[in-house]
């Protein structure tokens, strides 16, 4: 498949792109500047020599993508999606955004956002796109270690059943990972909020935690 990563030059976006390229998908790394997008693609090719990876500005990488991953901070979501607008119509849009901030003496704190979750806000802003929420709880560091399995589940939320199955299938192609249908897009709020908890556990215990659902 052809996959695009909007805001894909950060650790999470690059890590996911590396894993998807390792699985044989074509990846395109987007950024606010063409140069940074191209630098991101070069990093993917460096880690995954077999990768078919290109970079460019966000608007330039989404055109032929079958799935578009949103991998930027929550603070940039509204403006980024406003700029892309109709370019995302009809596409599967996988929102990886987790609204959070860091407070001194506390650590990561989940934000209460007006639209209940970042994914729900994205869906409202992109009514013609097929928005799915997933991958917020995965360690960027572990994603970049492409020769190692990742012991975790990816909770996938969305109202488009077919789009969810596509994203679950992509998650299942990461060694050790299981994609789990976690219900409608309204459930994405709770998945996003887990991210701050995992970050704080990682800092406390100096490790990289993940989510695993037992009993399924």
Q: pLDDT tens digits for 24-49?
A: 999 999 999 999 999 999 999 999 99
Residue 214 lies in a domain: no
Record the pTM: 0.96
Beta strands in the chain (DSSP E): 2-6, 26-31, 52-57, 67-70, 92-95, 100-103, 107-110, 130-133, 152-158, 177-181
Residue 113 is assigned to a structural domain of this protein? yes
Residue 81 counted as domain residue: yes
Domain residues for 183? Answer: 2-205
DSSP class of 138: S
- Is 137 among the domain residues? yes
In this structure, what CATH number is given to the domain that contains residue 36?
Answer: 3.40.50.720
Average model confidence (pLDDT) for the chain?
Answer: 97
**pLDDT value at position 67?**
98
* Per-residue pLDDT band at 102 (split at 50, 70, 90): very high
pLDDT of residue 63: 95
210 in a structural domain = no
Secondary-structure percent of the chain, ordered helix, strand, coil, rounded to 5: 40, 25, 35
Q: What are phi and psi of 207, to 5 degrees?
A: -145, -170
143/209 Cα distance (integer angstroms) = 12
The domain tally of the chain equals: 1
Would you state the pLDDT for residue 93?
98
Residue 215 lies in a domain: no
- The answer to the question of residue 212 being in a domain is no
Dist CA 133 CA 156 (whole Å): 6
In a domain, 182, yes or no: yes
């Amino acid at each position: 498949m052809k996959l695009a990563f909007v805001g894909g030059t950060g650790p999470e976006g690059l890590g996911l792109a590396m894993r998807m390229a390792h699985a044989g998908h074509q990846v395109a790394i987007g950024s606010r500047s063409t140069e940074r997008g191209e630098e991101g693609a070069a990093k993917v090719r460096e880690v995954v020599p077999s990768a078919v990876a290109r970079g460019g500005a966000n608007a330039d990488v989404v055109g032929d993508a079958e799935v578009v991953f949103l991998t930027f901070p929550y603070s940039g979501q509204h403006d980024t999606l406003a700029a892309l607008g109709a370019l995302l119509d009809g596409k599967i849009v996988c929102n990886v955004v987790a609204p959070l901030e860091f407070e001194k003496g506390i650590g990561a704190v989940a934000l209460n956002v007006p639209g209940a979750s970042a994914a729900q806000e994205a869906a409202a802003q992109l009514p013609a796109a097929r928005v799915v929420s997933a991958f917020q709880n995965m360690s960027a560091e572990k994603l970049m270690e492409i020769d190692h399995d990742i012991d975790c589940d990816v909770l996938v939320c969305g109202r488009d059943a077919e789009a969810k199955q596509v994203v679950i299938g992509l998650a299942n192609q990461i060694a050790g990972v299981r994609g789990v249908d976690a219900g409608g897009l309204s459930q994405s709020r709770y998945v996003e909020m887990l991210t701050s908890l995992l970050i704080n556990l990682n800092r406390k215990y100096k490790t990289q935690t993940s989510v695993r659902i037992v009993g399924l």
